[in-house]
């Protein structure tokens, strides 16, 4: 079909192929581009994005960094630094250390949480709600000996899709 001198663009992938190769979902790739984590991409005549190996690696980098909980600002900085191999890696180190500190802080907070929840649950004698220690503990903050700030949030995992039933929002409004 094609002679040897033709250059097949065999390393240029569509967004779907790039998604499969990098493990980042298609809409997320577009979102990252919009957020400035990817450089402006070449397009086909039909306006479709094209990804080379470098972009796919960049996406994998982003994905791994996200799995480690770096936020997009930090990832932007890391990507920028990655482009300057001769600079000192002090900044890289600082970003990673900051993240590590944050993770340790959160572990400590969650352990305090765990302890309090565990106490609560253990104290429950499975009787009437009126006597329930769980409710009582929640109602009266002074019962609890742990006073940590938690910044805890039940968050959807970035890599576990977690099917959720489409619940109707019951937002009541005051009638007027």
Partner DNA sequence: CTAAATCCTCTAGTGACTAGAGGAGCAAGC
Partner DNA sequence: GCTTGCTCCTCTAGTCACTAGAGGATTTAG
Q: Shortest Cβ distance from residue 130 to DNA (Å)? A: 26
User: Among 2, 88, 142, 169, which residue interacts with DNA (rule: CB under 7 A)?
Assistant: 169
Burial 46-66 (b: 16+ CB within 10 A, else e): eeebbbeeebbebbebbbebb
Which tokens hold the place of 25? 């979902």
In the complex, the smallest distance separating the C-beta of residue 2 from a second copy, rounded to whole angstroms, is 31
Residues 40 to 79: which contact DNA by CB under 7 A? Answer: 43-49, 66, 71-73
Q: Nearest distance from residue 30's CB to a second copy, in Å?
A: 11
Q: How far is CA 154 from CA 45, 144, 150, 166, in A?
A: 44, 22, 12, 18
5 binds, among a second copy, DNA, none (CB under 5 to 8 A by kind): none
- The upper half-sphere exposure of residue 35, i.e. CA atoms within 13 Å in the direction of its Cβ, equals 16
Site for DNA in 127-156 (CB under 7 A): 153-154, 156
């Amino acid at each position: 079909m094609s002679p040897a001198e033709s250059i097949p663009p065999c390393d240029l992938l569509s967004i779907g192929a790039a998604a499969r190769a990098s493990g980042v979902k298609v809409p997320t790739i577009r979102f990252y581009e919009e957020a400035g984590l990817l450089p402006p991409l070449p397009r086909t005549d039909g306006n479709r994005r094209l990804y080379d190996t470098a972009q796919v690696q960049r996406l994998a980098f982003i994905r791994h960094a996200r799995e480690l909980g770096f936020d997009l600002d930090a990832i932007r900085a890391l990507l920028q630094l990655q482009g300057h191999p001769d600079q000192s890696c002090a900044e890289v180190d600082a970003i990673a250390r900051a993240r590590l500190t944050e993770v340790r802080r959160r572990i400590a907070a969650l352990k305090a949480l765990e302890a309090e929840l565990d106490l609560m649950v253990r104290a429950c004698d499975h009787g009437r709600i009126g006597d329930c220690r769980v409710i009582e503990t929640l109602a009266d903050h002074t019962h609890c000996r742990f006073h940590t700030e938690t910044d805890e949030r039940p968050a959807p995992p970035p890599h576990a899709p977690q099917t959720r039933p489409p619940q109707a929002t019951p937002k009541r409004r005051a009638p007027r």
